[in-house]
Amino acid sequence: MKRINLIAGLLLLAGSASFAQKTETQLQNMGQLIDEQFNFAAAQYKVLDKNIPAGLTPQSYDAKKNKLIAYDIKWWCSGFYSGSLWYIYEQTRDAEVKKTAEKALKVIEPNQDYSGNHDLGFMMFCSFGNGYRLTKDPAYKAVIERSAASLAKRYRPSIESIQSWDKSKYWKCPVIIDNMMNLEMLNWVSDNGGDAHYKEIAVKHANTTLKNHFRPDFSSYHVVDYDLATGKVNRKATWQGAASSSAWARGQAWALYGYTMMYRDTKNQKYLKQAKGIAHFILNHPNLPADKIPFWDFDAPKIPYAERDASAGAITASALLELAQYTAAAKEKAEFISSAETMIRSLASPAYRAKSGENGGFLLLHSTGALPLNSEIDVPLVYADYYFLEALGRYKKWYL
């Protein structure tokens, strides 16, 4: 039935009777493509595993130096490696991959008591959340619950938000759009027998972000800096984008994913409206390339020669696939799915995907971490792999 509905929607989008037969073939090809990507990922991550120093988590790869970049477990990306392994295991049932995933969880387990930043959702839910989903190990659930308690410590009642970074010479109380992604863990714990206050925090944070982070065209600022004493906004700016007024590509992806997730967890229609608005901003932007993998900022200098961000493409694809699940209008639903499929096909092509055994074991090329800081430019990034795998799995689950 879901295949029939998808074809019907695509038929409406295309306006051609011959399109139905074409899309049936495309769906069959997508199934083959997805299986190939997971088999490639299983082999590739075995290469990656051999290069990781004990006690660290992989982040990127320096091709010039042929060197794996790995960081301490308190780095915000520490959960993506194990999360990717769980996604690979889910599709391949490779026992070696599962063993590696379990080993990777042990490395980051101490983070459950860490409250030094807002990224515990990335760190502990992408990892232990997927582990628990697939194994139902009660020890994993206990870690998630402890992690939610640690994250909740960063909630600031005066601004009704979770503070992202600590006070510095640049910021008094910064909240970044990325923080929307960490709300999922709070929701999940409250919805699965934990403290109901965690979800209340998530909802308040989402509402505050909705009020202060967005422009009329649904694009998002990266950073909103608050005055803790008064709760008022000091300024709206950027840290990783091209300018305070620009639309940093990964930030737009975080926003799209975050409000789609918040609608799933609350069924609040204002979150669905926001997610759709963000989706249309991205998909209708004149600077979105034909392959739908964004430049690192939609307003970046030197477009069309600016760097791409495969991670933004992967996150957006995954979010669009879920947003389509909550979209009733056939044409709009088909637009979200077909756009996500284009992104997936682009990322799976030689233009973005590594060759077997290369790229330090990472899957994707051409991500951009923080170009204004001259950091992680045109490199593989562990979270690009994670959301690429998630998008592949979601497409297979929902649309094949």
pLDDT beyond 60 at 13: no
Q: State mean pLDDT over 5-13.
A: 52
Q: Which of 193, 196, 154 is nearest to 174 (CA)?
A: 154
Q: State mean pLDDT over 100-126.
A: 97
Q: State mean pLDDT over 47-63.
A: 97
pLDDT of residue 16: 43
pLDDT of residue 8: 47
DSSP 326: T
Active centre residues (catalytic): 119, 178
- Which domains are present in the chain? 1-50+267-400 (1.50.10.10)
Would you tell me how many other CB atoms lie within 10 Å of the CB of residue 79?
Answer: 31
Q: What is the CA radius of gyration of the chain?
A: 20
Q: State mean pLDDT over 25-39.
A: 91
* Confidence at 165, pLDDT banded by 50, 70, 90: very high
Instruction: Say if residue 378 carries a ligand binding annotation.
Output: no
pLDDT in tens, 183-194: 999 999 999 999
pLDDT beyond 50 at 284: yes
- Which position has the higher pLDDT, 318 or 27? 318
* Confidence at 10, pLDDT banded by 50, 70, 90: low
Instruction: Say if residue 195 carries a ligand binding annotation.
Output: no
pLDDT beyond 60 at 383: yes
Inter-CA distances, 91 with 26, 36, 123, 337, Å: 20, 11, 22, 21
Q: State mean pLDDT over 98-102.
A: 98
Which single residue is written with the structure tokens 């997610």?
275
pLDDT beyond 70 at 14: no
Count, residues in the chain: 400
Instruction: Say if residue 265 carries a ligand binding annotation.
Output: no
Task: Give the amino acid at 70.
Answer: A
Record the pTM. Answer: 0.94
Q: State mean pLDDT over 274-291.
A: 98
SS3 string of the chain? CHHHHHHHHHHHHHCCCCHHHHHHHHHHHHHHHHHHHHHHHHHHHHHHHHCCCCCCEEEEEECCCCEEEEECCCCCCCCHHHHHHHHHHHHHCCHHHHHHHHHHHHHHHHHHHCCCCCCHHHHHHHHHHHHHHHHCCHHHHHHHHHHHHHHHCCEECCCCEECCCCCCCCCCCEEEHHHHHHHHHHHHHHHCCCCCHHHHHHHHHHHHHHHHCECCCCCECCEEEECCCCCCEEEEECCCCCCCCCCEHHHHHHHHHHHHHHHHHHCCHHHHHHHHHHHHHHHCCCCCCCCCCCECECCCCCCCCCCECHHHHHHHHHHHHHHHHCCCCHHHHHHHHHHHHHHHHHHHCCCCECCCCCHHHCCECCEEEEHHHCEEEEECCHHHHHHHHHHHHHHHHHHC
pLDDT beyond 90 at 27: no
pLDDT of residue 17: 43
pLDDT of residue 15: 46
pLDDT of residue 6: 58
Handedness of CA 240, 371, 390, 117 (dihedral sign): negative
Q: State mean pLDDT over 8-12.
A: 51
Instruction: Say if residue 254 carries a ligand binding annotation.
Output: yes
Instruction: Say if residue 100 carries a ligand binding annotation.
Output: no
Residues β-bridged to residue 175? 224
pLDDT in tens, 143-158: 999 999 999 999 999 9
Would you tell me how many other CB atoms lie within 10 Å of the CB of residue 379?
Answer: 23
